[in-house]
Amino acid sequence: MTFPGGAHVSRNVFIHHGHPFFLTILLSFTFLSVMGSACPKSCHCTERNGLTVVQCSSRNLEEIPPDLPHDTVSLLLSYNHITKIPNQAFKNLPWLQELDLSRNAIETVDAGAFQGVSESLRALDLSHNHMRSVPKEAFARLHAKISLSDNPWHCECQLQEVLRELKLDPETVNEVSCHTSAQEEHAGKPVIQVLDSGINFCNFHHKTTDVAMFVTMFGWFAMVIAYVIYYVRHNQEDARRHLEYLKSLPSSSQISKDFDTISTVL
């Protein structure tokens, strides 16, 4: 006999159906089968080649459902209000191949967001969100075709390093544009066009860092010089006052003359 989810139990089991051991096995198979195919109450689930397609689009979700079926092969979460993809959000979905998170309000992608599905995932849609940057580690070892179009990207070294490792969707790659840029003249241009023109944001980043370091060092040097000048002038003033004080004291010869005068009178 075959249970939902593909579990098989021999007919011989039911010959001894009164035995507690076999009843336990039967209940265990039934429980695991139900748990494996349970669908989140806010979503709709269908079957594809023995695995589960979870349809959660346009459900006013603010976060990724935590109770997704273990055998999910396709997860559709577009047109919701999700703002963040937390670490290990899909760690219990080893069969996941398609993930659609387009048209949400995603601003933050944690470094370990796709941990556990990096090998199985084949298509990832993050288009039409609010992302300005993502950590390089978030897409590590990810082989999926990725859509990142229509996000307010800030073009700088980190984004350049992220894109270098990704397999971008060729149909939307020209829609991945610099909303803002470390070099203002590139704002509004497709990222791929900017990078293909030979621009290296990482070199610019290093130059900017060097300039900032030089300015900081110059500032500290100026402060040290100012302190030394103040210290010298302050000591000079103290020395002048001390010298004037010493000059104001009666000399030893004057004291001796005054003493002789007093002796003569006496």
**pLDDT, tens digit (0-9, with 9 covering 90-100), for 36-69:** 568 999 999 999 999 999 999 999 999 999 999 9
Residue 190 has pLDDT above 90, yes or no: yes
Domain ranges of the chain: 1-37, 39-199, 218-265
The CB density around residue 139, as the number of other CB atoms within 10 Å, is 23
Residue 120 structure tokens = 């199985």
**Which range scores top for mean pLDDT: 27-31, 67-71, 227-231?**
67-71
From the number of C-beta atoms within 10 Å of its C-beta (0-12, 13-18, 19+), residue 30 rates as middle
CATH of the domain spanning 39-199, picked from 3.40.50.300, 3.55.50.30, 2.40.30.20, 3.80.10.10: 3.80.10.10
From the number of C-beta atoms within 10 Å of its C-beta (0-12, 13-18, 19+), residue 214 rates as exposed
pTM of the model: 0.65
Residue 46 structure tokens = 């269908």
* pLDDT band for position 203 (cuts 50, 70, 90): confident
More confident call, 234 vs 198 = 198
